[in-house]
Structure 1
Amino acid sequence: MDAASRPAVVIDNGTGYTKMGFSGNVEPSFIIPTVVAVNDSFLNQSRSSNKANWLAQYSAGVMADLDFFIGEDALARSRSSSTYNLSYPIHEGQVENWDTMERFWQQCIFNYLRCDPEDHYFLLTESPLTAPESREYTGEIMFETFNVPGLYIAVQPVLALAAGYTTSKCEMTGVVVDVGDGATHVVPVAEGYVIGNSIKSIPISGKDVTLFIQQLMKVLSLLFF
């Protein structure tokens, strides 16, 4: 059975949370924080040795023994042990640490989705205004490390607009206000394509609103209680 006959893997990496699953499903299979907890000793290994270690352990069926964790497991591990450092690979919608991002994808594929990347096409997402070099790094990791047979990288607001359309792609036109945990963008889309020079970035995101409300509640509690 080739990759075309299997559902594609969909991974939507955001600053705060990552949604992942398979095409055809109504909802994501997993929604986890985009964070990695890595043991200090594991950080000293080279990227090439990590790759060989991942593939060898995956073939042996012992991927859970790798000494780094993602999502809620990472947060719990950092609270219980001081030897683990938390790393957030995405900041304001852009990948800043590619080694950590590679580890994160590895755990998503093998430990959460439990699939062989060579047997599925992949759909990944990126934030508006992402540099072309970032897409090149993503393709390099997916093709060279995970040996995926096919990859498509979509802009997140375009997918959000497409989710509300039942007509053809050529009629998909609108303006998307994408408010994420780390970034907010206003993105015009014409016939399925982003008008790049008209994208507006707003320096207020979901995290900022959450912190503001928390501070406001603290002030109110001091005034009334």
Structure 2
Amino acid sequence: MYNIKTAIIDNGTGYTKMGWAGNIEPTWDIPTVISDNSDKNSTQVSKNYNEQLDFCIGNDALQQQVKTYPIKSGIITDWILMEKFWHKSIFDYLRCDPDETNFILTEPPMNPPENRESIAEIFFETFNANSIYIGVQAVLALYSNQVHEQHSSTGNQLTGCVLDSGDGVTHIIPVSDGFVIGSCIKHIPLAGRDITKFISQMIRDRGEKIDIVDLTRVSNEIKEKYGYVAENGLLQEFTNFDKPSKSGKQSNKFKQFSFESSKDKKKYSIDIGYERFLGPEMFFYPEFFDSNWRMSIDECIDNAIQGSPIDTRRNLYNNIVLSGGSTLFDGFSTRLQKQLQQRVDNRLQRFSIRNNNKIPEPISVKVAQNPYQRFSVWQGGSLMAVNPGFQNICKTRKDYYEYGPQIVRCNAVLSQGM
């Protein structure tokens, strides 16, 4: 196993990141979508060459009329299509022989153990993989951040609260010494895809001339290029937008976005304004967008940490790690740290009043960022794979055929033997 290369595949709801151990960034970052035109009643096996021609994944699949997302809210919902997605990933993108490759795969928190067994069955029985490791996304993100802070490849103290927000799902996961505190995990039904939908709605309501075919793509590009979080709140940001520039012209916060129509290939431009900050604001004022969800992201993090064992809370507040593309908005970490610190300070102040003005030791809130936080889960796997202790936590093909798929039901803790 020492000389066998390791591939990392991070399958998210919206995007899949793939590449090789030791790299800083994944080689491929493609949409987790598949277009399958093969005969559903066919008796051909998945490795049959003719059937391979009948489905495509990633950006190629997005161009097709019929397409399916095999992962919903972080959980695999269509195993047949997911197996085909992995088939393309391994043989068309990674271009490797699974028999001579170790695989690191990722999973969301609270993934059912039956799903882990299904992954093992596919990779060992269909692809004949040399070995696999299924890592919890939050722990890998924490490992990546810890390595960056230590400027080494050890990542020994894996304690922190991970805010993982991608395209389809947002989770808050407290981790203590490599153990996920499962009872305190928080799920937020808002993520990048919801921000894209909100921007699309604002563009439609404003009457911009844009074809429905291009609307989602354009809204997503606007979100990624111009979206930001209002660090000082909505009222101040509206004031900044409405304030004219020194020359008396319209505020320079209003932008124009140019795009090419997918139908006639002509260039078009639309104005963008308040949606730049109103979209990401759903993390802090979710009730504006979803009447069924009223808890801001800083309140969710605070509740997750307060529910954790009392001796871990101070360290959790001091290491809040951001992961995923929806945490990349300018101003996001600053606003989150400010509001969360205010919550903590207010609680300590109430404690002081109830205890005859006895002043408790202050708690410092620190929201950690790293330059690669969009890929932090994948990067955590990449860094872990080059660690000498990685071989101790893999499940090999020999293990699988000796003990069965139940061997992947539990994970070794990264801080042990790493």
Question: Are positions 1:182 and 2:180 aligned together?
Answer: no
Report how far residue 218 of structure 1 moved.
3.0
Q: Secondary structure at the match of 1:86?
A: coil
Q: Secondary structure at the match of 2:40?
A: helix
Take 2:98 and 2:79, find their aligned partners in 1: how far apart are those partners?
19
Q: Is the 8 A contact 1:12 1:20 kept in 2?
A: yes
- Equivalent residue for 2:108? 127
Deviations 1:170-196 (A, max 9, x none): 411100011111111000011112111
| Aligned residue identity for 1:204 | L
Take 2:120 and 2:193, find their aligned partners in 1: how far apart are those partners?
29
Take 2:203 and 2:32, find their aligned partners in 1: how far apart are those partners?
27
Q: Is the 8 A contact 1:169 1:191 kept in 2?
A: no
| Aligned residue identity for 1:51 | S
The structure richer in strand per residue is: 1
Q: Secondary structure at the match of 1:204?
A: coil
- Equivalent residue for 1:163? 144
Take 2:161 and 2:200, find their aligned partners in 1: how far apart are those partners?
31
Take 2:104 and 2:2, find their aligned partners in 1: how far apart are those partners?
13
Q: Secondary structure at the match of 1:11?
A: strand
- Equivalent residue for 2:17? 19
Q: Is the 8 A contact 1:4 1:121 kept in 2?
A: no
Unaligned runs of 5+ in 2: 209-270, 272-418
Deviations 1:134-180 (A, max 9, x none): 11101110010000111100111111111111254441110001111
Q: Is the 8 A contact 1:36 1:69 kept in 2?
A: yes
Unaligned runs of 5+ in 1: 80-84
Take 2:125 and 2:22, find their aligned partners in 1: how far apart are those partners?
27
Q: TM-score, normalised by structure 1?
A: 0.84
Q: Is the 8 A contact 1:38 1:69 kept in 2?
A: yes
Take 1:6 and 1:108, find their aligned partners in 2: how far apart are those partners?
19
Q: Is the 8 A contact 1:22 1:29 kept in 2?
A: yes
- Equivalent residue for 1:82? none
* 32, 40, 43: which one aligns with 1:43: 40
Take 2:129 and 2:58, find their aligned partners in 1: how far apart are those partners?
23
- Equivalent residue for 1:144? 125
| Aligned residue identity for 2:29 | I
How many residues align? The count is 204
Q: Secondary structure at the match of 2:183?
A: helix
* 60, 65, 73: which one aligns with 1:92: 73
* 81, 85, 109: which one aligns with 1:104: 85
Take 2:47 and 2:195, find their aligned partners in 1: how far apart are those partners?
42
Take 2:206 and 2:159, find their aligned partners in 1: how far apart are those partners?
44
Q: TM-score, normalised by structure 2?
A: 0.47
Take 1:132 and 1:75, find their aligned partners in 2: how far apart are those partners?
31
CA-atom RMSD, angstroms? Answer: 1.9
Take 1:52 and 1:69, find their aligned partners in 2: how far apart are those partners?
14
% same residue: 48
Q: Secondary structure at the match of 1:201?
A: strand
| Aligned residue identity for 1:36 | I
Larger of the two Rg values belongs to structure: 2
* 138, 159, 162: which one aligns with 1:173: 159
Take 1:170 and 1:69, find their aligned partners in 2: how far apart are those partners?
41
| Aligned residue identity for 2:177 | E
- Equivalent residue for 1:215? 201
| Aligned residue identity for 2:9 | I
Deviations 1:51-79 (A, max 9, x none): 352xxx4xxxx99x521100011122x14
Q: Greater RCO between the two (CA within 8 Å, min separation 6)?
A: 2
Q: Secondary structure at the match of 2:67?
A: strand
Q: Is the 8 A contact 2:173 2:185 kept in 1?
A: yes
Question: Are positions 1:193 and 2:190 aligned together?
Answer: no
Take 2:53 and 2:2, find their aligned partners in 1: how far apart are those partners?
31
Q: Is the 8 A contact 2:46 2:84 kept in 1?
A: no
Report how far residue 6 of structure 1 moved.
2.9
Question: Are positions 1:73 and 2:60 aligned together?
Answer: yes
Q: Is the 8 A contact 1:16 1:182 kept in 2?
A: yes
